[in-house]
Amino acid sequence: MVNTELELFEQIEFKENEQYEAIIQDLLKNKYSVIDDFFSAEEVGLLRASLMGKYEEDDFKKAAIGNKINEVVAKSIRGDFILWINEAEAGKAEKIYFRKINSLVEYLNRTCFMGILQKEFHYAVYPEGTFYKRHLDTFQNDGRRKLSMVCYLNTENWKPENGGELAIYTEENGVEKQVDVFPYPGRVVIFESQELEHEVKPVKVPRYSITGWLKTR
């Protein structure tokens, strides 16, 4: 956000946002929140078209899991292809995306003193047969990752039979509990990066998303 925008924002009187408040309550209670229709069908369409264009141009790279592990091992852990998104070079679709994310981040910082100063996002494609084994998002030695955010860009007709659900492992009365989140278009899931292990179950149909992290420094 440029300075003038920031100053302008500061002058606007604080207005409570019901959707954001619900997210905050979920995070406090469960360490995760699932928000349906965070992005409209039209916005998802624009973002998916942008992703597909870049994917067809071969801009995506096989996702790594740190640099010391060889490719064969990496493939047995995660099989997705990713492309990092540079906010400064955002196209029309990505601008829409960042406008919403930035609004949420402003709200979190203002109401919860979250201290989110940095963000990073990448597009992700999980081709048929791929998955991402159970992990914690801070395994890459990035303790600055505070909240993980995934936004799903699949088509309207996505079915549970397609697989690719995000399994989040939480705890209830000291007992592990698995919550399955299906990657329906427009849905966003936010969770505490340092707290909740999760995994992407094998997909039977290519699966599209944007994954990102809100970071403290």
Ligand X SMILES: O=C(O)CCC(=O)C(=O)O
Contact positions vs ligand X (CB under 6 A): 124, 132, 137, 150, 166, 198, 200, 209, 211
Handedness of CA 83, 84, 85, 91 (dihedral sign): negative
Q: What is the nearest approach in angstroms of Fe ion to the Cβ of residue 122?
A: 11
Picked from ligand X, Fe ion, none, the partner binding residue 48 (CB below 5 to 8 A depending on kind) is none
Indicate the Cα dihedral angle 131, 137, 138, 144, nearest 10°: 140
Q: Is 199 in the site for Fe ion (CB under 5 A)?
A: no
Minimum gap (Å) between residue 193 Cβ and Fe ion: 8
Residues numbered 128 to 167 that lie near Fe ion (CB under 5 A) are 137
Closest CA to 79 of 59, 101, 60, 103: 60
Bridge partner list, 121: 212
User: Residue 50 or residue 183: which is nearer to ligand X going by CB?
Assistant: 183
The smaller minimum CB distance to Fe ion, of residues 20 and 32, is found at 32
Query: Residue 209 binds which one of Fe ion, ligand X, none, with CB within 5 to 8 A depending on kind?
Result: ligand X
Q: Which residue number has the CB closest to Fe ion?
A: 137
Q: What's the CA dihedral at 62, 67, 70, 75 to 10 degrees?
A: -30
| Partner touching 150 among Fe ion, ligand X, none, CB below 5 to 8 Å by kind | ligand X
Q: For ligand X, which is the closer residue by CB, 77 or 114?
A: 77
Question: Is the distance from CB of 177 to CB of 169 less than 8 angstroms?
Answer: yes
Q: Alpha-carbon distance 94 to 92, whole Å? A: 6
Q: Which spans of this chain sit near Fe ion (rule: CB under 5 A)? A: 137
